[in-house]
Structure 1
Amino acid sequence: MALFGFEISDKLKDVSVGVVCLTQENKNKPWILFETGALAKGLTTNRVCTFLVNLNPEDLQDPLGQFNHTTPDKNSVWALARTINDCLDEKALDERILEQVFETYWPQFNEKFQLALQRKPTRRGCTTTLGTRYSRRDPKSYKRVIESCALA
């Protein structure tokens, strides 16, 4: 296993749930299959969920078809939020509080998600809804995207 693989395994050892975003463009790519497999293998509880962007569950074949799918509608995202919260064990929010937070932020998420769907990625990379650029060729750019999402 390459050094990168060890880094992934090391980071995943403390993770209890993972969410993989799938699109029509990436659903059959070797890298998404590799990373999803690494995530599934690295999780002791094996809680891998997919977030489907312009896809339906029936659009997926195994192995990706085996996971819990989330579609970008309110009920499905709520179920995902509950799944993630349940995996937090003693750090989980009381479900009433989680629901209150979800109801507060759902409109903002939905609006930004719909705007993101309307954007066309550029050839050199993409721009997140927060304005942070990323590119597959620049591994450091992923870190910038993650950091900008954490600050949002």
Structure 2
Amino acid sequence: MKVFISWSGEPSRSIASELHGWLRVVVQHVRPWMSDVEIESGTRWNDVIAANLESADFGLVCVTRSNQSAPWLMFESGALAKRLDVARLVPLCIDLEPAEVISPLQSFQSRKLDMDGMRRLIHELREMSDNPMPREPVDRLFEAMWPGLEEQVRLAATQHINAEGPRRSPDDMLAELVTRVRNLERDTETEKQSSGPSRRDLRMLDHAVMTLDDSVSRLSLLTNYIAEFAHSVNRLEQLRFSERELTTAQRVSVDRAETNQQREAEYEIGVGDLVSHPKFGKGEVIDIAGAGAGQRAQVNFESGQIMWLVLRHSRLAPLAPEIDLDSSDN
């Protein structure tokens, strides 16, 4: 059973790589696939990824707070979701709770990347085997292997935080700016009492304070615009994902209708028709029995054989009637 592991950015990539090797040991009937490990140098990576998405039986999406709206993660998740009649898709929550996953991934049952969540996931994979192992040996193997994976997940998350560095929120920056303005006013008042600054200095100070106040207002307004823009982008991604799903469903419906029409056309063979079979050669239909998918035809072949064939599986091809040229000349 092929398990496609989807990722985007760090620490999602590092954790997906650890899962790739760990799953091979704990659930031995699965074949994990991850692009960062499996794609060989010099190959067309997009063709390889598309082929493995098409053949996957199970999808794991390594989700973090920062990547759950990433376009590439959405593309791979959408491709896996199209195969839901034969495959399953599970968002694996790394640094967030399943309830915090946003659309469209929130439509699927998530699992937390902790001991309880991974134990449930392992047993779900075990039960999908044609010959599943007993629960107890799998539990013992899981408990022996889990501490190693837990430590690698912790290291990957820690390294990502250290490499990225702390991010300051707009509120923090606004608070610092206000503090600096107040300190500047306090220092000015102290200097005024001690040395008596000139009017020119006071005017310059007032202008600086007014400029800082205006900057604070503009930064606050810009923060609101950024939040609204991020919400709009997220909504647009959701609409695009829904549109792709609808288009795919319509295409599948049209393909099925065309296939049914072709099959119905293949069954339009009647008594007296000339037909050809790839093994038995040419012959004439002398009887028809049954209807629908079980409809049969009795054919008298030129070889002298008379056989009943099920039209759905027989590969009989109708032939055009032979024209008697002598009769037509007369």
Question: TM-score, normalised on structure 1?
Answer: 0.68
Find 1:24's aligned residue among 65, 70, 78: 65
Q: Per-residue CA shift, 1:14-48, capped at 9, x if unaligned?
A: 42211010011110111111111112224543311
Match of 2:113 among 72, 83, 92: 72
Q: What CA RMSD, in Å, does the superposition of the two structures yield over aligned residues?
A: 2.3
Distance 1:44 1:7, change over 3 A: farther
1:58 match: secondary structure: helix
Distance in 1 separating the partners of 2:111 and 2:58: 14
The residue number in structure 1 matching 2:92 is 51
Which residue is 1:106 aligned to?
Answer: 146
| Contact 2:68 2:102 survives alignment (8 Å) | no
For 2:135 and 2:46, locate their aligned partners in 1 and report how far apart those are by CA, in whole Å: 36
Establish whether residue 84 from structure 1 lines up as the match of residue 143 from structure 2.
no
Superposed displacement of residue 107, structure 1: 1.2
Mapped to 1, the partners of 2:98 and 2:120 lie a distance apart of 15
Greater mean deviation of Cα atoms: 53-62 or 15-24: 53-62
Output the amino acid matched with 2:99.
Answer: E
Assess, with a 3 A threshold, how the Cα gap between structure 1 residues 14 and 95 changes in structure 2: closer, same or farther.
farther
TM-score computed with the length of structure 2 as normaliser: 0.33
Match of 2:134 in 1: 94
Q: Distance in 2 between matches of 1:94 and 1:9?
A: 34
Aligned equivalent of 2:158, options 118, 122, 131: 118
Q: Which moved more, 1:18-27 or 1:114-123?
A: 114-123
Q: Deviations over 1:101-130 (max 9, x none)?
A: 10111111112211211112758xxxxxxx
Give the gaps of 5 or more residues in structure 2.
Answer: 1-43, 165-330
CA distance in 1, matches of 2:147, 2:120: 16
Structure 1 unaligned spans of 5+: 124-152
Distance 1:8 1:89 in 2: 26
**Which one is further off, 97-106 or 34-43?**
34-43
Q: Structure 1 residues 38 and 80, CA, compared in 2 at 3 Å: closer, same or farther?
A: same
Assess if the C-alpha contact under 8 Å between 2:94 and 2:112 holds in 1: yes
SS in structure 1 at match of 2:96? coil
The reply on whether 1:33 has 2:95 as its aligned counterpart is no
Flag the structure with more relative contact order, 1 or 2, with Cα contacts below 8 A and sequence separation at least 6. Answer: 1
Q: Distance between the aligned counterparts of 1:105 and 1:66, measured in 2?
A: 30
More helix by share: 2
Aligned residues: 120
**Residue 61 of structure 2 aligns to which amino acid in structure 1?**
V
Residue pair 1:13, 1:43 contacting (<8 A) in 2 also? no
Determine what percentage of the aligned residue pairs are the same residue.
Answer: 28
One-letter code of the match for 1:72?
A: L
Q: Which is greater in Rg? A: 2
Deviates more, 1:100-109 or 1:52-61: 52-61
